[in-house]
């Protein structure tokens, strides 16, 4: 019997190329289940992705999809949204794609409050391109470019999104899949830049380098270190150290989205032309 989510996948493109135990499939399924829960029309929903393991997801999803250049998914998505604001535009990106190569596009997408739902699959490393450290590789963790451990402080992409102007910011993990689905679904409701960090296990590139090559180990790490936002807020500061991190809705505010703001420019230009 066909399960309801299977209709959203291009069966002729499967099986996928992700490694056994990879968390990208869990996050991709969470996106389609969020789409289904919101009743979004397939013909009005566009999936845009960049480059990397995460960004291969668009090829498997049976919507209008665009697999773009490295780091450039947000500008492509911005163009689609401005050309047709009726469309639901969802961006799938990775930690390297979004916060390194695409870092500037990310902060300006947030600043403009473009009505996009951006889901960052955070596997803490560049998987597809060879296991190099990304800006979201935790300090001290190993990568091919950091054989003795990453020196750089890690980016908190959620705090970056909030500071840059995103109007919905949430985090969840592949372990908390129903929670992740609901965070994405709530992001789809927000008319503005919605950013959801989906932490996903990468047993091959990240796990093997950091003595967690079993995907179950990585998922247990997520289970043991993720703290729901309400509980996180009550923790004393010394309990927020180490590997612990908050999940849930981290930030939300009302704001005028970019297409609406641009309508004003169109009105002004129309008035000037008369």
Nearest approach in angstroms of CB 210 to ligand SF4 is: 12
**Which CB, 93 or 123, lies closer to ligand SF4?**
123
Nearest approach in angstroms of CB 53 to ligand SF4 is: 3
**Contact assessment for residue 126 and residue 51, using Cβ atoms and an 8 Å cutoff:** no
Nearest approach in angstroms of CB 43 to ligand SF4 is: 30
CB-based contacts of 249: which residues, under 8 Å, 6+ apart? 168, 169, 170, 183, 186, 229
CB-based contacts of 203: which residues, under 8 Å, 6+ apart? 19, 20, 21, 22, 212, 213, 214, 215, 218
Nearest approach in angstroms of CB 184 to ligand SF4 is: 19
Q: d(Cα 57, Cα 49) in Å, to the nearest integer? A: 8
Nearest approach in angstroms of CB 202 to ligand SF4 is: 3
Site for ligand SF4, rule CB under 6 A: 18-19, 22, 24, 53, 123, 127-128, 202-205
Task: Read off φ and ψ for residue 205, nearest 5 degrees.
Answer: -85, -45
Give 176's DSSP letter. Answer: S
**Which CB, 78 or 93, lies closer to ligand SF4?**
93
**Which CB, 65 or 124, lies closer to ligand SF4?**
124
The two most distant CA atoms of the chain are separated, in Å, by 68
Nearest approach in angstroms of CB 17 to ligand SF4 is: 7
**Contact assessment for residue 141 and residue 150, using Cβ atoms and an 8 Å cutoff:** yes
**Which CB, 75 or 94, lies closer to ligand SF4?**
94
* Paired tokens of 135: 């800006």
**Which CB, 21 or 248, lies closer to ligand SF4?**
21
Beta bridge partners of 251: 169
**Which CB, 132 or 260, lies closer to ligand SF4?**
132
Q: d(Cα 210, Cα 112) in Å, to the nearest integer? A: 38
């Amino acid at each position: 019997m066909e399960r309801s989510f299977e209709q959203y996948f291009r069966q002729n493109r499967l099986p996928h190329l992700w490694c056994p135990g990879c968390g990208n499939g869990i996050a991709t399924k969470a996106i389609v289940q969020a789409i289904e829960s919101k009743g979004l029309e397939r013909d009005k929903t566009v999936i845009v992705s960049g480059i990397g393991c995460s960004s291969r997801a668009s090829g498997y999803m049976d919507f209008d999809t665009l697999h773009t250049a490295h780091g450039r998914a947000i500008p492509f998505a911005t163009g689609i949204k401005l050309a047709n604001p009726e469309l639901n535009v969802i961006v799938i990106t990775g930690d390297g794609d979004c916060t390194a190569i695409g870092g500037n596009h990310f902060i300006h997408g947030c600043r403009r409050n473009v009505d996009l739902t951006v889901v960052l699959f955070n596997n803490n490393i560049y998987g597809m391109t060879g296991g190099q450290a990304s800006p979201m590789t935790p300090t001290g963790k190993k990568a091919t470019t950091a054989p003795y451990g990453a020196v750089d402080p890690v980016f908190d992409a959620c705090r970056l999104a909030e500071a840059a102007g995103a109007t919905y910011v949430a985090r969840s993990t592949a372990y908390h899949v129903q929670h992740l689905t609901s965070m994405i679904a709530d992001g789809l409701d927000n008319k503005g830049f919605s950013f959801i960090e989906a932490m996903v296990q990468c047993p091959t590139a990240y796990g093997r380098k950091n003595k967690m090559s079993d995907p179950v180990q990585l998922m247990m790490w997520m289970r043991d270190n993720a703290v729901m936002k309400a509980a996180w807020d009550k923790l004393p500061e010394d309990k927020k150290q180490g590997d612990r991190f908050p999940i849930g809705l981290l930030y939300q505010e009302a704001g005028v989205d970019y297409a609406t703001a641009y309508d004003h420019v169109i009105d002004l230009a129309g008035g000037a032309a008369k």
